[in-house]
Amino acid sequence: MDLKMNVYTPFLELVGILEAYKSVIWEEKAFSSGSFSIDCLITDESKTLLVPDNIIWIEGETAGTIQYFHENSGKTGDYITVKGPNLTRILENRILWGRYNLSGTVPQIMHQLVEDCCIRPTRGDVEARKIPRLVLMDPPTGGDIIYVQRTGGYLLTALEELGAAYGVAFGVRFNPAVPQMEFWTRWGQNRSVNQNANEPVFYSTELDDVLSSEYSYSAQDYRNVALVAGEGEGDDRTMVVVEVEVPDTPIPPAPTTYTISIAVTDSASVSSLLMAGALSVAGTQVTGANAQITTTLNTIAVSFTLTKTIEIARSMSVNGVDIGHVEQEGDSVSTTLSAQDGMTIAVAFTNYVAPTATHTITAAVDPAGSGTVTGAGKYQEGATVTLTASPGDGYKFSGWQENGQTVSEDANYTFTASANRALTAVFAAEPASRLPDGYTEVEYIQSDGTQYLDTGVVPTLTMKFSIDIEPTHEESLEAWEMYACSQYYTSTSGGSRAFCVYRSKSSIVAVARCEQNGVFANTNLSSDTSPRRMQIVVDYANKKAFIGGENEKTISPTVNASMSGIRLFRNSRDYGNYYARANLYSCQIELNGAPVRDLVPCVAPSGAIGLYDLVGREFYDNAGTGVFTAGPAI
């Protein structure tokens, strides 16, 4: 098997490619840190690359840190053995600083712990606790919300316990394209032989999918910080930091230094040559950051401590021999050479366009599962980026946030790529509709003077009636404007009864009873008859009536079993045809302290406009002529 293994410094700078090796053993774990062991012949290349703390990456996502180094001599030759954990072990370098009270799905809680301990710390020495170039990937969706409390201990231990208990795999992988280290989580699957939900996996030396049944591993323990808890409880507990001196990192063998002269064949300056990346070694651009550079006229002498293999791009020649050239603007050539000390490489910039910087735009969703986002990815400098947020069922878009701050309230957020950015689309849960499917709740229904509704409720002495009403015209009233009415009329002395709520030319009125020959005993609630929204309450049970925010008035109610049901927007007898032009926002009726009507303005599935009763779960349609007008949907 031909593996590609790149070697990086602890600062994620590419050192070179490890090509000559004898054996590779790599162990991966779902709920903890794995390990590796590599044997290779002792060469100038291996002695340069395989030094403590360097990172080895195998193409894909697998990477580990060298923490054990040993040179061996045997019959088969001299070789180096290096061992170490995979990148997940870096999480063991951080402790939980005090007590954490966390809630969310298990992957979300894991990400919260890593963020607070390694990426954006809020406790202890916040700068020293940051792990450079460690980023969080989006957690998987789904899962139950749990509540976790953790106090002290190592971050990796806390993650291992959560992962094993809830079946959530996690780790730190290496992304060489950026480069960066990425913390990830995903839901695990049970593939043991004692279940039938998933296809089982078998490991056996007889099946040739296990090459060795034994493996030993040794690594140094570099823990150097402890948080000691003393007196007190909870967040008030005394915490003391104990630190020890970090042991010196072993000094790797001194690499060989090579000097190559680069002759510029046109008027391009030295700085433009280096900024354009004309010289790279094993994929790493040679600049002033990793090489010593001296110049004489149009010649650059570059002394570097990397490998012998160099990669030259653009139009070039070596010792006067042309080895490639560009055909048109934007073209490039690339040749790998075996460098020799003192080699002269001529590089031409004719028709060359320098590459444009690339920026990574990420987009997450909060809370998880509340919606989706599109538009994230890699963009060239100056490119237009549009991120689109789409809410899921039961949610609405609130805004785009970056570093906890809202940067846009537009679901389609457009900006110019100028740097790496990590944005989050925030969604808010929408309250569930209180009406059945197909009904649309509206702010109010409006009568133009010919529509009304019959509630079917006959007043009793235990009734409480409430209505939220707003007249819609200002001209002088020629007659009563009726908002609610229930009547019984007889010529017999003392036999007439009426419940009315109406507006006249001079007052807002609640009528408690009606005497013989239609002479009403009125209770005037207000002399302000201007069109305004009013919450009017008539409480027979407590013998009072009032308009919200104004003084209560005492009433003396009387009723009769033959009274009609309460009508809204008109009187309940045929004479006079007293209607109302008004907006009705709501109406509630109670009998004996229990609700019998809770009427909500709405549009029915059929398109009819009326009131829906939340108590009886029934729709009340227009009983008059014409149609109501619906207010804005809620």
Q: What's the whole-number average pLDDT of the chain?
A: 78
Q: What is the pLDDT of residue 423?
A: 96
Specify the higher pLDDT residue, 598 or 77: 598
Strand partners, 344: 261
Specify the higher pLDDT residue, 353 or 518: 518
pLDDT of 325 above 50:
yes
Q: At a CB cut-off of 8 Å and minimum separation 6, what does 214 contact?
A: none
pLDDT of 539 above 90:
yes
Q: How far is CA 572 from CA 2, 311, 458, 566, 613, in A?
A: 93, 96, 11, 7, 20
Q: What is the pLDDT of residue 242?
A: 55
pLDDT of 355 above 80:
no
DSSP 106: H
Q: With contact defined as beta carbons under 8 Å apart, do 130 and 118 qualify? A: yes
| 618: phi then psi, degrees, rounded to nearest 5 | -135, 145
Q: What is the pLDDT of residue 266?
A: 43
Measured between alpha carbons, how far is 582 from 597 in angstroms, rounded to an integer? Answer: 20
pLDDT of 158 above 70:
yes
Measured between alpha carbons, how far is 587 from 567 in angstroms, rounded to an integer? Answer: 11
pLDDT of 399 above 90:
yes
Q: What is the pLDDT of residue 336?
A: 54
Percent of the chain scoring above 70 in pLDDT: 68
Going by pLDDT thresholds of 50, 70 and 90, the confidence category of residue 25 is confident
Measured between alpha carbons, how far is 421 from 407 in angstroms, rounded to an integer? Answer: 12
pLDDT of 207 above 60:
no
Q: What is the pLDDT of residue 148?
A: 84
Of 109, 111, 60, residue with least CA distance to 86 = 60
Q: What is the pLDDT of residue 311?
A: 45
Q: What is the pLDDT of residue 415?
A: 95
The average pLDDT across 418-431 equals 92
Going by pLDDT thresholds of 50, 70 and 90, the confidence category of residue 221 is very low
Q: What is the pLDDT of residue 349?
A: 43
Dig out the tokens for 140 from the structure.
Answer: 């998987």
Dig out the tokens for 127 from the structure.
Answer: 């700068």
Measured between alpha carbons, how far is 506 from 30 in angstroms, rounded to an integer? Answer: 81
pLDDT of 174 above 70:
yes
The average pLDDT across 449-465 equals 93
Strand partners, 256: none
- How many Cα atoms are found within 13 Å in the side-chain-facing hemisphere of 261? 12
Measured between alpha carbons, how far is 491 from 493 in angstroms, rounded to an integer? Answer: 6
Dig out the tokens for 342 from the structure.
Answer: 């003192």
CA 366, distance to chain mean position in Å, is 3
Going by pLDDT thresholds of 50, 70 and 90, the confidence category of residue 556 is confident
- Per-residue pLDDT of 87-143, as tens digits, reads 888 888 898 888 888 888 999 999 999 999 999 998 888 888 899 889 999 999 888
Specify the higher pLDDT residue, 339 or 48: 48
Measured between alpha carbons, how far is 158 from 97 in angstroms, rounded to an integer? Answer: 12
First-to-last CA distance in the chain?
65
Measured between alpha carbons, how far is 559 from 561 in angstroms, rounded to an integer? Answer: 7
Measured between alpha carbons, how far is 610 from 629 in angstroms, rounded to an integer? Answer: 9
- Per-residue pLDDT of 383-395, as tens digits, reads 999 999 999 988 9
Specify the higher pLDDT residue, 190 or 314: 190
Strand partners, 169: 186
* SS3 assignment, position 33: coil
The average pLDDT across 305-324 equals 51
Dig out the tokens for 465 from the structure.
Answer: 């009636």
Q: What is the pLDDT of residue 458?
A: 94
Going by pLDDT thresholds of 50, 70 and 90, the confidence category of residue 413 is very high
Top-confidence range, 70-84, 306-320, 325-339, 413-427 = 413-427
Of 618, 621, 609, 623, residue with least CA distance to 442 = 609
HEC sequence for 182-213: EEEEEECCCCCCCCCCCCCCCCCCCCCCCCCC
Dig out the tokens for 114 from the structure.
Answer: 């890593």
Measured between alpha carbons, how far is 445 from 520 in angstroms, rounded to an integer? Answer: 29
Of 20, 21, 23, 55, residue with least CA distance to 37 = 23
- Given the structure tokens 């980026």, which residue do they identify? 385
* SS3 assignment, position 235: helix
pLDDT of 342 above 60:
no
pLDDT of 292 above 60:
no
Q: What is the pLDDT of residue 267?
A: 40
The average pLDDT across 424-440 equals 90
Q: At a CB cut-off of 8 Å and minimum separation 6, what does 351 contact?
A: 326, 328, 329, 331
CA 487, distance to chain mean position in Å, is 60
Q: What is the pLDDT of residue 277?
A: 46
Q: How far is CA 151 from CA 96, 158, 274, 301, 629, in A?
A: 7, 10, 51, 57, 61
Going by pLDDT thresholds of 50, 70 and 90, the confidence category of residue 516 is low
Q: pTM of this prediction?
A: 0.39
pLDDT of 470 above 90:
yes
Taking the C-alpha atoms of 579, 527, 542 and 556 in order, what is their torsion angle to the nearest 10 degrees?
-80
Cβ neighbour number for residue 308 with a 10 Å cutoff: 17
- Per-residue pLDDT of 262-291, as tens digits, reads 554 444 444 444 444 445 444 444 554 444
